[in-house]
C-alpha cells in the first residue's frame, strides 16, 4: 500500500514537472519545448513500464495475501505476463487449490465423524480441558436418563444426578470399567483422551451391554434350571410313588407307625423339593404377553385389596396417588399384576413393620412409581440387583426380581430400583 502511494506521488510529480517544463519552454523556443514534450512522454512511458514490471506483480501478490487472510480458497490469481512472477503465481494457485482440497477433506471427515457419533448406539461425551461437557450424543443422553443435551452442556458430569453418571465421574483417566446399576442395565464405560491443540482432551464412551449379558445369562440359567428340574422331578416322582405305595402298605400295621410317619415326612420333603424346582423352572417359562390397552389406574385399583392384605400383617399403610387422567397402556394384565404383587411384597419385606408404601402414576410420559420408606438398598447391593439367583434374604432364591425383569422387558418397559438421597426406595416403571 505504501509503495503504491509512493509510486502514485512520483508519477504525479514527474508528469507535473514535465507539464511545467512544456509551459515554460513554449515561451522560450521550440527546441526546449520539444525536449519538454519528450520528457513528458518519457515520464509516462517510465510510469507504465514501472507499473507493469513492479506494481502489477505486487498487486497480484497483495491480492493473494488478502485471499489467504480471508481464507478464501475459491479464487485464483491471474498471470501478469512476467516469467518469474507468473511462476510464483502458479505455485500460489497450486497451494490455494491444495488448501481448498484439505479444508474440504477435513470438513467431509468431520461431517462423517459427526454423523457416526450422533447415530452411534455407543454413548459419546466430549469434554473440554476444564472437564465440562461440550458435546453429547443421543445414546449418551438415553443412557444417562436425560431429556436433552441442554441439561448438561457446559457442566461437569458430577452435576448429573443419576447412578450411572456418578459411577462414570469416579472413573480414572485411561480406564475402562463394566458397570451394573440398579435398573438391570449393564454398561462398559471408558474415560479416554485425544490430542487437541497439543494437549490431552478427555472424552467418555458408554457402551450398553445389557442385551448381550442378559441374553447370555438367560441361556445359561435356562439350561441349568431345565436340567435340574428334569432330573429332580424324575427322581422325586419315582421316590414319592414308591413311598406312597409303602406307606399304604405299612399304614395297616400298627407296629410300623413310626415308619409311616417317616415316609410321610419324606413324601412332604419330595413334594417341597418339586415345588422348589418348579418355581425355578417357571422363571424360564414366562409366556409371551397377550397385551391389550387398559387403564393403568383401574388395574392398580383392582389389585389394591389384595396388595393391602400383604401389608396388613406388618402394619404397613398402602396409599394410592393416581393421576386424574386415564393412562392407557398396552400390557398383559395377568403378568403385570404378578409384577405388582412381587414389588409390593419386596417393599413390605424391606420395611419389616410400621411403614408406608405409596403407589403413584403420571401420564406424560406414562409412568408408575412404587415407593417405600424401608431400610433401603445398600450401595454394595444395588449393583447386584436383577442378577440371577442373587438374594439378600437368608432363604431367598433370587428369582423375584428376575421374574419382574423378564416380564417388564417383554413389555418393552424401562425400569429402575434405587434408594435416593431422601432415604426413599422407588421402583419406577416407564411405559
pLDDT at 189: 92
pLDDT digits (tens, 9 = 90+) for 106-124: 888 888 888 888 888 889 9
Nearest to 310 by CA among 343, 276, 275, 359: 343
pLDDT at 247: 66
Q: What cell was used for 209?
A: 451391554
| Cβ neighbours, 10 Å, residue 2 | 6
Cα separation, 204 vs 191, whole angstroms: 5
pLDDT at 227: 63
pLDDT at 397: 57
Backbone angles phi, psi at 77, to 5 degrees: -90, 145
- pLDDT averaged over 10-residue windows placed end to end, the chain, 431 residues: 64 69 64 66 69 67 76 76 77 85 86 86 90 90 86 87 85 88 81 87 88 70 67 66 67 57 66 65 70 89 78 85 89 87 86 88 89 83 70 63 84 86 88 89
Backbone angles phi, psi at 327, to 5 degrees: -110, 105
Q: Beta-strand (E) ranges in 251-388? A: 292-295, 316-321, 328-331, 355-363, 366-372
- Name the pTM for this structure: 0.54
HSE (side-chain half, CA atoms, 13 Å) at 19? 7
Q: Are 176 and 193 in contact (CB under 8 A)?
A: no
Q: Are 337 and 374 in contact (CB under 8 A)?
A: no
Cα separation, 180 vs 104, whole angstroms: 43
Cα separation, 294 vs 287, whole angstroms: 19
Cα separation, 309 vs 313, whole angstroms: 7
Burial of 252 (0-12, 13-18, 19+ CB in 10 A): exposed
- 3-state SS string for 80-95: CCCHHHHHHHHHHHHH
Q: What is the CA radius of gyration of the chain?
A: 43
Nearest to 145 by CA among 119, 118, 183: 183
Q: What cell was used for 146?
A: 436425560
Q: What cell was used for 121?
A: 448406539
Q: Which residues pair with 152 in a beta bridge?
A: none
Cα separation, 39 vs 21, whole angstroms: 9
Q: Which residues pair with 292 in a beta bridge?
A: 331
Q: Helix, strand or coil for residue 295?
A: strand
Amino acid at each position: 500500500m505504501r509503495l503504491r502511494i509512493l509510486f502514485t506521488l512520483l508519477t504525479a510529480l514527474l508528469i507535473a514537472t514535465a507539464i511545467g517544463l512544456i509551459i515554460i519552454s513554449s515561451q522560450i523556443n521550440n527546441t526546449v519545448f520539444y525536449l519538454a514534450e519528450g520528457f513528458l512522454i518519457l515520464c509516462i512511458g517510465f510510469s507504465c513500464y514501472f507499473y507493469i514490471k513492479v506494481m502489477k506483480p505486487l498487486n497480484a501478490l497483495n491480492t493473494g495475501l488478502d485471499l489467504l487472510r480471508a481464507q478464501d480458497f475459491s479464487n485464483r490469481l491471474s498471470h501478469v505476463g512476467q516469467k518469474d512472477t507468473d511462476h510464483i503465481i502458479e505455485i500460489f494457485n497450486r497451494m490455494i487449490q491444495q488448501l481448498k482440497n484439505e479444508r474440504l477433506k477435513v470438513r467431509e471427515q468431520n461431517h462423517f465423524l459427526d454423523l457416526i457419533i450422533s447415530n452411534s448406539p455407543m454413548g459419546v461425551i466430549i469434554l473440554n480441558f476444564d472437564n465440562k461437557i461440550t458435546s453429547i450424543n443421543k445414546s449418551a443422553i438415553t443412557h444417562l436418563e436425560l431429556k436433552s443435551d441442554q441439561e448438561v452442556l457446559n457442566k461437569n458430569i458430577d452435576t448429573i444426578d443419576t447412578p450411572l453418571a456418578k459411577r462414570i465421574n469416579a472413573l480414572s483417566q485411561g480406564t475402562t470399567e463394566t458397570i451394573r446399576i440398579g435398573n438391570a442395565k449393564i454398561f462398559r464405560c471408558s474415560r479416554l483422551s485425544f490430542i487437541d491443540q497439543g494437549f490431552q482432551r478427555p472424552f467418555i464412551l458408554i457402551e450398553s451391554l445389557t442385551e448381550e449379558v442378559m441374553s447370555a445369562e438367560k441361556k445359561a440359567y435356562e439350561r441349568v434350571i431345565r436340567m435340574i428340574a428334569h432330573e429332580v422331578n424324575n427322581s422325586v416322582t419315582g421316590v414319592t410313588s414308591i413311598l406312597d405305595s409303602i406307606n399304604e402298605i405299612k399304614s395297616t400295621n400298627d407296629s410300623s407307625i413310626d415308619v409311616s410317619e417317616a415316609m410321610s415326612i419324606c413324601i412332604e420333603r419330595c413334594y417341597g423339593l418339586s415345588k422348589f424346582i418348579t418355581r425355578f423352572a417357571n422363571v424360564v417359562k414366562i409366556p409371551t404377553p397377550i397385551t391389550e390397552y387398559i387403564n393403568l389406574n383401574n388395574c392398580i385399583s383392582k389389585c389394591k385389596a389384595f396388595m393391602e392384605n400383604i401389608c396388613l400383617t406388618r402394619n404397613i399403610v398402602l396409599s394410592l396417588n393416581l393421576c386424574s387422567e386415564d393412562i392407557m397402556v398396552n400390557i398383559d394384565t395377568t403378568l403385570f399384576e404378578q409384577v405388582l404383587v412381587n414389588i409390593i411384597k419386596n417393599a413390605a419385606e424391606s420395611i419389616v413393620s410400621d411403614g408406608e408404601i405409596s403407589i403413584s402414576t403420571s401420564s406424560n410420559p406414562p409412568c408408575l412409581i412404587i415407593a417405600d420408606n424401608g431400610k433401603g438398598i445398600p450401595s454394595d447391593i444395588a449393583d447386584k440387583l436383577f442378577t440371577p439367583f442373587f438374594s439378600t434374604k437368608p432363604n431367598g432364591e433370587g428369582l423375584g426380581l428376575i421374574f419382574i425383569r423378564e416380564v417388564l422387558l417383554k413389555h418393552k418397559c424401562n425400569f429402575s430400583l434405587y434408594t435416593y438421597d431422601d432415604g426413599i426406595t422407588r421402583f419406577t416403571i416407564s411405559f
